[in-house]
Amino acid sequence: MSKWLCLIALAALASVSLFVGVIDLLRVDPAEIWPLIRDSRFPRTVATLLTGASLAIAGQIMQLIARNRFVEPMTSGTGQSAALGVLLTAVLFPTAPIGLKMGLASITALGGSVLFFSLIRRLPPTQPLLVPLVGLIYGGIVGAGVTYVAFQADMLQFIEIWMNGEFSGTLRGRYELLWLAGIAAALTYLVADQFSIIGLGEAVSINLGLSYRQVVMLGLLMISVVTALTVVTVGIIPFVGLVVPNMVSLMAGDNLRRTLPITAMAGAGLVLIADLVGRLVIYPFEMPVGTVIGVVGAIAFLWLLYKGGRRAG
């Protein structure tokens, strides 16, 4: 029941999004309405929905694998590693097609995530808050590496696009990769139980006949692909993967078979609203969606640390 309400609210917001922009749809020559919607407004709206939904699910899966509620790909090095991959492709193979760029970004993102998980394995389980701290530092170091490479290659203005997510450049023909991210995220629903069980730890997983390593690698692959596709098309958008799964978990628990659709809708809603706010707050100019979510997300993150710290393990 409430799921349908969410879906209706999301559809309403999405239709509002079609009408928000510098050109007022109600006063424009009717012949121009359809091309405008087709080429700009619709792609942008769909891009926000796909990005939000897939990032929220990627965050949820990452938290289950880490067994820690305070990690998410964009602030724990996966996003930065993806950006490094895109940058290296741009430096080494400037004429590479988008598919190759995306593939390399996925590989570096996967490498970055595997390294992050091998780092946090050594942390004492009694100190759950060390995990997000290590993630932030690790992400910062990889990010600094990206800046260094970009500086050397005289490409600093390019990395802004990948490091600061925004949707103002989203046009028909330039966002379609996000559908793949959406599909990758949606596929996790097929193995929802496996990921829920992984969240109960390695011993329980083995006992129930799961191939623990295989499911973890599948999860990391999905996280990396979603992150890389998002970074390549719209750039790093932090906090969605952190805030949304935590809110959903507080309200509806962690049985993914039940909660993944809610997580997806909430993520889509958050990014769509943040993008609407970004488009309206200094209208007719725009504020990047990453900045809006950064403000909202930082507050939500502090609140979660304060409220959920005791049960973080």
Tell me the site size for other proteins, rule CB under 8 A. 31
Measured from the CB of residue 181, what is the shortest distance to other proteins in angstroms?
23
Residue from 64, 163, 236, 237 touching other proteins (CB under 8 A): that is 64
284: enclosing H helix or E strand: none
Minimum CB separation of residue 119 from other proteins in Å reads 19
**Taking CB under 8 A as the rule, does residue 80 contact other proteins?**
no
Contact (CB, 8 A) for 45 and 268:
no
Which range, of 60-68, 76-84, 94-102, 291-299, touches other proteins by CB under 8 A? 60-68
- Interface positions, 226-255, toward other proteins (CB under 8 A): 249-250, 253-255
Tokens of 92: 């080494």
Q: Does 136 bind other proteins (CB under 8 A)?
A: no
Produce one character per residue of 285-303: b if its CB has 16 or more CB atoms within 10 Å, e if not: ebbbbbbbbbebbeebbee
The helix/strand/coil state of 246 is: helix
Tokens of 265: 């809708």
Binding residue for other proteins (CB under 8 A) from 61, 191, 220, 272?
A: 191
Q: Does the footprint of other proteins cover residue 67 (CB under 8 A)?
A: yes
Any residues with CB less than 8 A from the CB of 262 and at least 6 apart, and which?
A: 3, 6, 248, 252
Our finding on whether 124 is near other proteins (CB under 8 A) is: no
* Site string (252-271) toward other proteins, x via CB under 8 A: -xxx-x--------------
| Structure tokens belonging to residue 16 | 């509002």
**Residue type at position 16:** V
Q: Is 207 in the site for other proteins (CB under 8 A)?
A: yes
For the bound state, the minimum distance from the C-beta of residue 65 to other proteins, rounded and expressed in Å, comes to 12
**187 near other proteins (CB under 8 A):** no
Alpha-carbon distance values, 300 to 129, 242, 297 (Å): 16, 9, 5
Q: To the nearest whole angstrom, how small is the minimum distance from the Cβ of residue 7 to other proteins?
A: 23
Name, in order, each residue with C-beta under 8 angstroms of 82's C-beta and a sequence gap of 6 or more: 105, 106, 108, 109, 112, 162, 224, 227, 228, 230, 231, 232
Residue 197 touching other proteins (CB under 8 A): yes
For residue 118, give both structure tokens. 């091998």
Binding residues for other proteins, per CB under 8 A? 64, 67-69, 190-194, 196-197, 199-200, 202-204, 206-211, 249-250, 253-255, 257, 311-313
